[in-house]
Structure 1
Amino acid sequence: MSSTRSTLDHVARHGVRTFTPRWRSSPLTTQRMARLLPRHVVPAEGVLDREAWFGRNAPVVLEVGSGYGAAAVAYAAAHPEHDLLTAEVHVPGVARMLALAEPLELRNLWVECDDALPLLTERIPSGSLAAVHLFFPDPWPKGKHAKRRFVQQHSLSLLADRLEPGGVVRIATDHDVYAAHVRRQVAHHGGWTLVEGERPSWRPDDGFEAKGLRAGRSVVEFTLTRS
């Protein structure tokens, strides 16, 4: 079975990760996590409870893989009426995001230091999210690694269930292979309407986006709404 066809199913593959859990820590990262994480971390157990987790009943936006956090911090600052929940396994990235957020005194930025898929599967109830952001995910450009890309049939079904009516998924990528993968997956799924459009005005153009632009790649923006 080809790598293209093998990803067009609705089955999550056990043990297949969408990320590579490798990094080096540092004294600065350790210090930032110890000092700043307790202000922003969500409970380690239990399902999403807005009042218990965030202290209010506001719309919740999930960012999958926040990286070094520039987009997450910018969104939280521009949308104080929303609670932004980030899911990121890269500890140095989380530490840098928290350091960026500290001078802004953000009270609506929250952190789950773990993979987004278990969070979505086990801890976020149906109809709980106003939006999901997936900005510059690992493209896994080799065909044999296509199964590791976050956008798959099973994840599209999962996101459709977790979004509230009118909720959207926003995706940005600077890799043509990943953009084609998203188009193919969404078309095959049939449960979404896909629009390619402009980048959000609140999102800064640094990090992976800036790196891609410097390399001469163009950025593709997708907005998915449930059909």
Structure 2
Amino acid sequence: MNTPEVPRPAPGGEHHPGESVRHTRAKGEPRFPDGPKADPAGSHFERRIRSFQPRRSRVTAGQADALQRLWSRWGLDIDGHAVDLGELFGNDGPVVLEIGFGMGEATAQMAAADPDTNLLAVDVHTPGQGNLLNLADRAGTDNVRVANGDAIILLREMLKPDSLAGLRVFFPDPWPKKRHHKRRLIQPEFLSLAATRLRPGATVHCATDWEPYAEQMLDVLTAHPDFENTQADGGFAPRPAFRPLTRFEGQGLDKGHVVNDLLFRRVQHGDR
């Protein structure tokens, strides 16, 4: 059995930022006692095709420290219980849901640039969760909440209808093999669920550097009755100024990748 790696103090009780060392936990001992749960909803019992794949990787001392210190205040385990977004953020501002934020750099930048908008960021990658919490804490922003678990359960079980002002899905797993296309997140069934939680006028913003997936996203969103393209020509949108150019995206552009943004609006039937 592989032993998970988590940070621990260096000899003498000192922490070296960014360092990860091996620590053996007792059976059943949580990885972060005051942090995110390993499987908050027991979601592995759901027989449903997943659009994500949990990844195990090293957690740095800074990320672990942020998880321990900040999770009780800024973290949310997706456990299937209803959540009051006003209570979660401590205000009645608009809430935008971001699914899959990687290491959180772009999310932290967007939160700092728009403090009046609350960002609920969902991912299953523990280092990324810790990194985003750390970035938000260092920037002094308090409009970010980090959700741990399955975004489908969050949308289906925990959020009220018309409670979201926007949805962002940036660089989701493209599942490039044809037999895995069914795992892609942007599908008609997902959009129908998301539409029930998005208020009329809310924006769905997707971005990908995988052109076949971009074309599929455009086709699926265009065909869905609850959404309309914000672009008059019915095509892709220029990258909005508020979406930062991430390191990952920059590396792709340097390799000649084409990045496509899609901006669609939630409509009420009869509005078209």
Q: Normalization by structure 1: what TM-score?
A: 0.88
Q: For 1:42, what is the secondary structure of its paired residue? A: strand
1:107-130, Cα deviation, whole Å (9 max, x unpaired): 110011112111011111110000
Q: CA deviation at 1:27?
A: 4.9
RMSD value, Cα = 1.8
Q: Is the 8 A contact 1:43 1:53 kept in 2?
A: no
Hey, what does 1:215 align to over in structure 2?
255
1:83-142, Cα deviation, whole Å (9 max, x unpaired): 110011001111111222222111110011112111011111110000001111111111
Q: Which one has a bigger Cα radius of gyration?
A: 2
Letter in 2 for 1:32: A
The alignment-based identity, stated in percent, is: 38
Hey, what does 2:167 align to over in structure 1?
132
Q: Specify which of 14, 19, 22 is matched with residue 47 of structure 2.
A: 14
Hey, what does 1:34 align to over in structure 2?
68
Hey, what does 1:200 align to over in structure 2?
240
How many residue pairs get matched? 215
Instruction: Report the structure, 1 or 2, having the larger helix content.
Output: 1
Partners of 1:39 and 1:190 in 2: CA distance: 38
Q: CA deviation at 1:159?
A: 1.4
- Ranked by relative contact order (alpha carbons within 8 Å, sequence separation 6 or more), the top structure is 1
1:53-77, Cα deviation, whole Å (9 max, x unpaired): 1111111110011111122111211
Hey, what does 2:193 align to over in structure 1?
158
Q: Is the 8 A contact 1:129 1:162 kept in 2?
A: yes
Hey, what does 1:180 align to over in structure 2?
215
Unmatched 5+ stretches in structure 1: 1-12
Unmatched 5+ stretches in structure 2: 1-45, 268-272
Hey, what does 2:112 align to over in structure 1?
77
Q: CA deviation at 1:219?
A: 0.9
Q: Is the 8 A contact 1:65 1:116 kept in 2?
A: no
- Say whether residues 1:25 and 2:90 are aligned partners: no
